[in-house]
Structure 1
Amino acid sequence: MTEDVRRVGVVGGGAWGTAMALAALRAGRETVLWAREPAVVEAIRRDRENRDYLPGVPLPAELEATADPAGPAGCDAVLLVTPAQHLRSVAARLAPHLKPGTPAVICAKGIEIGTRALMTEAVAAVLPPGTPLAVLSGPTFAAEVARGLPTAVTLACADAALGARLLEALGSLTFRPYLTDDVIGAQVGGAVKNVLAIACGVVVGRRLGDNARAALITRGLAEITRLAVALGGRPETLMGLSGLGDLTLTCSSLQSRNMSLGAALGEGRALDDVLGERRSVAEGVYTARAVVALAGQLGVDMPICRAVDAILTGGAGVDETIRGLLSRPFREEEG
Structure 2
Amino acid sequence: MTVRAPNPPAATLHEPIRVGAIDCANRIFMAPLTRCRSTPGSDAPNELNARYYVQRASAGLIISEATQISAQGKGYMGAPGVYSPAQREGWKTVTAAVHAAGGKIVAQLWHVGRVSHPDLQVDGALPVAPSAINPGLFTTTANGKQPSVTPRALETAEIPGIVEDYRHAAQIAKDAGFDGVEIHAANGYLLEQFMRDATNLRTDEYGGSIANRIKLTLQVVDAAISVWGAARVGIRLSPISRANNCPLDSNTQAVYGALVAQLSARNIAFLHFIEGDTQIQHSHDGFDFAAARARFAGTYIANNGYTPAMAQDALARGTVDAVAFGRAFIANPDLPARLRRGAPLAAYDPKTVYKSGEVGYTDYPALDAARA
Q: TM-score, normalised by structure 1?
A: 0.30
Q: Is the helix fraction higher in 1 or 2?
A: 1
Higher relative contact order (CA 8 A, sep 6+): 2
Q: TM-score, normalised by structure 2?
A: 0.28
Q: Is the strand fraction higher in 1 or 2?
A: 2
